[in-house]
Amino acid sequence: MIKCGFCKKVINGQPAYLNQKVYHSGCLVRMKNTRLDKKYKKSLFEGALKHLIIKHQEIGKEEDQFLGQTTLKKYDIYENAFSLAKRNGLKKTYKQFSDYFGVSEQSIKRTLGLKYASKETWKHIKKGRISAMRVAEIIYSKGRKHEKEIVEWVIQTGATKYETSNYRTGEEKSMQMLSGEYSGLISQIKKIGGVITKSKSSMPEKLRDKLKPHLETLKVNLDEVLKDWELKWK
Ligand SMILES: [Zn+2]
């Protein structure tokens, strides 16, 4: 039984050649077209990319004067380059684009982070309340989740880039508070464990009877919690 090298379905009535692929006649045409198509798309991509690279170089020259505005232009170029590749069925990595444009991967990623800016943030950018570059930095370093909070804070306070990098989000602050509470809890647990172990042998019988129901309740609670956690975070 011989299978077609293109569609992998059985070809009837074909003699078996060793090491030679066979195709349905229709599949042969389709395969050639696919190859041509790929070549064509690749050349389309490369032609358009050339223009983008030239545009990108021109921005580089004006960078010093119009810092911030150049970020938007670069954003358009990178966006274009990526969607161009996608439209033509080509898989391109950040590394490849970083080579094409002669900038770091990180810089491309940071700039493209603007894609995640919210509508409100875009309004702020367009009205000149905050630069696109700063927004890109915020999203890149602090994550999309906190974009709105930090962008508003920067606009209100006029914080510098350095101050922004030290900004702690509400979530970070409350995590820190929580972790403070829990470290208290941990030391209490340790203390209780220590006391119980220590008094294991030396505890008077009457006190032991008093303690026992409490320990039993504690044990039930602990088992419940641990079992629950195990199910949740297996
Ligand atoms: Zn076929």
Residue type, 161: K
* Residues spanned by the domain of 104: 2-113
23 Cα–ligand 1 center, Å: 5
Per DSSP, the chain holds a count of helices (H) and strands (E) of 10, 2
The answer to whether position 142 is within a domain reads no
Q: What is the mean pLDDT of residues 127-133?
A: 90
Q: What is the pLDDT of residue 81?
A: 96
pLDDT in tens, 6-58: 899 988 776 666 667 888 889 999 988 888 888 999 999 999 999 999 999 98
1 Cα–ligand 1 center, Å: 14
CA gap 203, 216 in Å, rounded: 17
Q: Which residues pair with 3 in a beta bridge?
A: 10
29 Cα–ligand 1 center, Å: 10
| Structure tokens that stand for 206 in this block | 């009457």
CA gap 62, 57 in Å, rounded: 9
213 Cα–ligand 1 center, Å: 77
- What's the mean per-residue pLDDT of the chain? 87
The answer to whether position 15 is within a domain reads yes
pLDDT in tens, 101-116: 999 999 999 999 999 9
pLDDT in tens, 137-176: 999 988 888 899 999 999 999 998 888 888 888 878 888 8
The answer to whether position 48 is within a domain reads yes
16 Cα–ligand 1 center, Å: 15
pLDDT in tens, 176-233: 888 888 888 888 989 888 888 877 777 788 888 888 899 899 999 999 999 998 888 7
Q: What is the pLDDT of residue 194?
A: 86
67 Cα–ligand 1 center, Å: 56
The answer to whether position 153 is within a domain reads no
The answer to whether position 28 is within a domain reads yes
The answer to whether position 168 is within a domain reads no
- What is the Rg, in whole angstroms, of the alpha carbon atoms belonging to the chain? 32
32 Cα–ligand 1 center, Å: 13
pLDDT in tens, 64-80: 555 557 888 999 999 99
The answer to whether position 125 is within a domain reads no
The answer to whether position 126 is within a domain reads no
Domain count, the chain: 1
